Structures are given as C-alpha cells and as structure tokens.
Amino acid sequence: MDLYYMPGSAPCRAVQMTAAAVGADLNLKFLNLMAGEHMKPEFTKINPQHVIPTLVDGDFALWESRAVCVYLIEKFGKEELFPKCPKARAVVNQRLYFDMGTLYQKFSDYYYPQLFAKAPADPEKFKAMETAMGLFNTFLEGSKYAAGDSLTVADISLVATVSSYDAAGFDLTKYPNVNKWYQLCKSTVPGYDINQAGVDEFKKFFN
C-alpha cells in the first residue's frame, strides 16, 4: 500500500500510527505541498481533491485521514481499535468527528493563516481553539482514553492533533485531563515515535 504524505501533517501521522497499530506495511511517498506536487496531473488522477494523506491499495484510493484509519483497522481485523458495539462505536465516531470538525479545525483556523499567509494572529480564533480544547478536557473527565477505558482509533487521531497544539506552544497544562491523557498516549499509542518525528518536523514552522 502506498501512502502519499508529509511527515509534519497531523492527519498523515494519524494514518501512520494506525498502520503501526494494525501491522500494515506502508510504502511512503513524500508529497511536497509547498512545491505544488499535489497539483500535478499524476496525483490529481489518483485523488481529484488533491489532499494528503492519500492511501492507494491496489486499484483502490482513499483519502480523509479518519476514513483511511478506519479502513486499515477493518482491513486488518483490529476491531478493538474500532469496537463493533453500536454504542461504543458511536462514541468513537463522535470523537473522530469532533477531532475533524472542531479540535483540528480550530487549530487550522488559528495557526495556518499565520504560517502560510503571513496573516496576523486573530484573538477570537485563539479563544475558539481554547474552547475546543476545553470541550475535549470535559470529554475526558473520568475516562482513561478518549472514548472510554480502552485505546481506540479516536485516541490515535486526537493525539496527532493535540501533539500539533503542543508543537505550536499551546499550553496544555491548563487542561489537566487532556495533559494526563496526552502523556498516557505517548507511552501507549503504537508508532508514537513516528508521530514524534513528524511533530519535530512540524515544529520547524514555528521557529
């Protein structure tokens, strides 16, 4: 399986950690977005949305990191990461959608205009980011992991996002449940060393 990626990308790191968790062997294909490689015809033919990560498994191509993570889990039969119980799976899905639509989105809204368009910091967007992290802190009240007492794909996706907040210098100590969970994930999420290497790359944007 080929994975088109950039190491600093949180969604790409989530897929790489999931692959490590399920034992999937990925053929990594670096795609330099800064150089516009994602707009080349050979890539847009694979993925007309021209985003990363993009997974190619034979004649099948898939993008959107959380969909890719779930695909890998189901393909390799690691259902403990995406439980079959409807209620348990619903909570995992809720956390994944929260990550995509709120936690990661608010991070992107605040930091990416500054990093890539040289825009000034927007205090209102920073407040929205704090609110999002506060919600995650509430979700973790009395819970070991993001969706209960067991590690799931929700943790893998969320820790890629939260580690990006950390890389940007966002103060996680204000959110004790998040900080405790984050430290736990560093030692329990398979392939976290891959994530850390990507985080180290991502930090360079803030130097």
Which are the catalytic amino acids? Answer: 9
Interatomic CA distance for residues 66 and 72, integer angstroms:
10
DSSP 84: S
Residue 65 in contact with residue 157, Cβ under 8 Å? Answer: yes
* Distance in angstroms between the alpha carbons of the first and the last residue of the chain: 34
Interatomic CA distance for residues 3 and 5, integer angstroms:
6
Pairing of strands 2-5, 27-30: parallel
Q: What stretch of H or E contains 15?
A: helix 10-22
